[in-house]
Amino acid sequence: MNRDLALKVLDAILISSRRKVKIKTLKNFFKDLDVEGLLTIAQKRYEDFGFFLYRDKDYVELTNRPELSSYLINFFNFEENEYFQDFLEVLAIVAYAGPISLREIDQIRQKESTTILKELLNEGLIKKHRSLYKVSKKFLEFFGFQKLEDLPDYHRLRKELKGKS
């Protein structure tokens, strides 16, 4: 693989991964190429864009430039972000109906949920066993529950929420 192609592949890996990538894994993947050199070239190229190559010991991650964060917050309006609502909806479905399949989640929501499930898996809030999804221990800890049975009663909660609207 030549250097120009390697840089394109590196860009694709960093953009697609949406998480930290082990430098060792990159070195194994690119075999005889100078990965440190590729990362240095990539970082210089990103200076003209809204990206920053963040390095943390043995990992590298493509992130947004810190000085652009306020613009991104304004653009995406995180508090009313539809994607965030979808994220919470899928998480609630998995919590209350899990273990549950992708097909069942899509049927309940009446829309596709694959991308959101991948995000929840990456965050460690859910786990997948065979083709079924269920919440993880991290989910319980994050929301302050000891066990799944500690979740508020779904029917009572739904009734209370309907009464407030």
pLDDT tens per residue across span 39-72: 999 999 888 888 888 888 899 988 888 778 777 7
b/e per residue, 107-144, with b = 16+ CB within 10 A?
A: eeeeeebeebbebbeeeebbbbeeeebbbbeebbeeee
Look at domain 78-164 and name its CATH class.
Answer: mainly alpha
Residue pLDDT, tens place only, 101-135: 999 999 999 999 999 999 899 989 999 999 999 99
Q: In CATH terms, are 3-68 and 78-164 the same topology?
A: yes
Domain boundaries, the chain: 3-68, 78-164
**pTM for the full model?**
0.51
| The architecture CATH gives domain 3-68 | Orthogonal Bundle (1.10)
pLDDT score at 120: 93
In tens, the pLDDT along 127-156 reads: 999 999 999 998 888 878 888 888 877 777
